[in-house]
Amino acid sequence: VDTIAQLQLVLGPEGVRAPGEISERYLGDWFMRAEPGVRPAALTLPRSTEDVSAILKICHAEGNPVVPQGGLTGLAGGGVPIHNCILVSLERMRAIVEIDPVAATMTVEAGIPLQAVQEAAAAAGLLFPLDIGGRGSCQIGGNISTNAGGNRVLRFGMMRDLILGIEAVLADGTIVTSLNKMLKNNAAYDVKQLFIGSEGTLGVVTRAVLRLFPNPTSLCTALCAVADFDQVYDLLGRARAELGGTLSAFEVMWPAFYRRAIAGRRKVPLGPDFGAYVLIESMGSDQMRDSDRFNEFVERAGEHGVLADAVIARSLSEGLALWSIRDASGDLVKELAPVANFDVSVETGRTGAFAQECGDRLRARFAGAAAICFGHLADSNLHIFVTAAVRPFPEREIDEIVYGCVRDWGGSISAEHGIGLVKKPYLSYSRSPAEIAVMKALKAALDPRGILNPGKVFD
Ligand SMILES: Cc1cc2nc3c(=O)[nH]c(=O)nc-3n(C[C@H](O)[C@H](O)[C@H](O)COP(=O)(O)OP(=O)(O)OC[C@H]3O[C@@H](n4cnc5c(N)ncnc54)[C@H](O)[C@@H]3O)c2cc1C
């Protein structure tokens, strides 16, 4: 019996789609499409962990490649089909298994969209703090497999910090259930960590135990301007010391980004000629007290000459208006096309100098090139949009220059989006041969036939 017939036997006709029935949606992620001519052999839609196990057992026996897919909002090509693969989409596994208010956990199936988790937590009076632009479509399984970051990492950490337990299915169909709900568990190796950030190459995540937090009831936001970039670090130190655990965002925009983000707006909060702009947010549990503390922090920074100017939001809508400048990145990247888009990290205290050097190297090669920078500075995460007037657009050469600069500065070529296919050629710029050898040893041990997402992350 061939692979497809075996899959149909286990999953029923509605659980398997033949190549002609697979819609375009499954043929790429947010960033890239499969090469023309690349066709999956089937799309499978499991309903349970046992279904996933059965799919993998069949594929393992046949040596058939498997590509796990979540919400396909990935920005590194990790979910892109490879030729003749079996796609495993978790979209029918979206149940909330349990909310435990005492443990402050939510146990879910991996196909649940992030936004559904956020809403269920809020309905229970709690917070699931991961928040990224693709929240309506991306799935918890995808968030785990990419170790997603986003806007509140400074306060709550990345996905890795928000996970207590995982259930995953190995390449041969073995189910590894580790749905731990305890904050402390040092009983030898923490197996769940293998599946976080490994982009579907070591197992298919089927369920997870997520950490929940008290819902913040106060929110303060300010947009600050500093005269020169070095004052950004001073401001960060003050924000950490004076706002303590309430500090929830510290987003830096370089002038080239800010000017483009406010272009065409009738009302702009701050002029365009400062050295850098910082969006600062705090979240707490007492609006009056937290507002006083926040306002005093901003005033003191002004008195000490750290701030050149600042606007404090007086309402939720004013706060959202300030955030809309930072969030203009989504539209900006479309307006700037053709553009090369980077998500890198360097040590926080060297970010300004790194951005300067990276821009200098780009301009030395392409006169008039622009490096438009913004990022989650306290997380050492920098986003860069690079434009150049050269046509055809020299994307590959720009990648070489930026990733080469990251390598020379000891940074990471991927702060939060993962490696997938897009950054595979540059993995060695941020990971040593010994680190890559450990990764390959793990891959060989857990997936000896190399069927899980082959060709992604490394060859
Ligand atoms: C507008 C926008 C904004 C974004 N902002 C951010 C951001 O701020 N921070 C950030 O980190 N990311 C961001 N992203 C990227 C993306 O949303 C994240 O990488 C997200 O975690 C991917 O989830 P997904 O379900 O869409 O995964 P997919 O794209 O479907 O898959 C991503 C990878 O995970 C694997 N995978 C998916 N599900 C499973 C599973 N159940 N088991 C095993 N492997 C699996 C896939 O094989 C692939 O390698 C953004 C994307 C968009 C479109």
Distance between Cα 72 and ligand 1 center (Å): 6
Measured by CA distance, the residue closest to atom 1 of ligand 1 is 133
Asked if residue 70 has its Cβ within 6 Å of ligand 1, the reply is: yes
User: Which ligand 1 atom is the nearest neighbour of the CA of 205?
Assistant: 42
Distances (CA, A) of 456 to 41, 127, 198: 18, 33, 10
User: 294-310, pLDDT tens digit by residue?
Assistant: 999 999 999 999 999 99
User: Which ligand 1 atom is the nearest neighbour of the CA of 203?
Assistant: 43
pLDDT at residue 151 greater than cutoff 90: no
Give the 3-state secondary structure of residue 46.
coil
Measured by CA distance, the residue closest to atom 8 of ligand 1 is 150
Average pLDDT, the chain: 97
- Which range has the worst mean pLDDT, 165-174, 191-200, 252-261, 328-337? 328-337
Give the tokens for residue 67.
Answer: 């590509």
pLDDT at residue 1 greater than cutoff 70: no
Distance between Cα 31 and ligand 1 center (Å): 11
pLDDT at residue 186 greater than cutoff 70: yes
d(CA 334, CA 439): 35
User: 61-117, pLDDT tens digit by residue?
Assistant: 999 999 999 999 999 999 999 999 999 999 999 999 999 999 999 999 999 999 999
* pLDDT (mean) for 349-375: 97
- Which class for 415: exposed (0-12), middle (13-18), buried (19 or more C-beta within 10 A)? buried
Measured by CA distance, the residue closest to atom 3 of ligand 1 is 133
> What percent of the chain lies above the pLDDT cut of 70?
100
Give the 3-state secondary structure of residue 387.
strand
User: 2-30, pLDDT tens digit by residue?
Assistant: 999 999 999 999 999 999 999 999 999 99
Q: Are 345 and 380 within 8 A, CB to CB?
A: yes
DSSP per position, 100-165: ETTTTEEEEETTSBHHHHHHHHHHTTEE---B-TTTTT-BHHHHHHHT--BTTHHHH--GGGGEEE
Residue 361 is predicted with a pLDDT of: 98
**Helix or strand run (H / E) with residue 281:** strand 276-284
d(CA 94, CA 222): 37
Best mutation site among 25, 26, 49, 73 for ligand 1 pocket (most ligand atoms within 8 Å of CB) = 73
Asked if residue 44 has its Cβ within 6 Å of ligand 1, the reply is: no
Residue 271 is predicted with a pLDDT of: 97
* pLDDT (mean) for 170-174: 98
Q: Are 107 and 209 within 8 A, CB to CB?
A: yes
d(CA 220, CA 268): 19
Looking only at Cα atoms, what is the longest distance across the chain? 77
- Which class for 407: exposed (0-12), middle (13-18), buried (19 or more C-beta within 10 A)? middle
Distances (CA, A) of 397 to 394, 404, 415: 6, 10, 21
Measured by CA distance, the residue closest to atom 52 of ligand 1 is 134
Residue 133 is predicted with a pLDDT of: 87
Distance between Cα 78 and ligand 1 center (Å): 8
d(CA 421, CA 113): 23
Distance between Cα 135 and ligand 1 center (Å): 10
Measured by CA distance, the residue closest to atom 45 of ligand 1 is 200
* pLDDT (mean) for 401-425: 97
Asked if residue 68 has its Cβ within 6 Å of ligand 1, the reply is: yes
Asked if residue 453 has its Cβ within 6 Å of ligand 1, the reply is: yes
Distance between Cα 146 and ligand 1 center (Å): 6
Block residue for tokens 């006083």 = 292
Asked if residue 146 has its Cβ within 6 Å of ligand 1, the reply is: yes
Residue 412 is predicted with a pLDDT of: 98
Measured by CA distance, the residue closest to atom 41 of ligand 1 is 141
Asked if residue 29 has its Cβ within 6 Å of ligand 1, the reply is: yes
Distance between Cα 438 and ligand 1 center (Å): 24
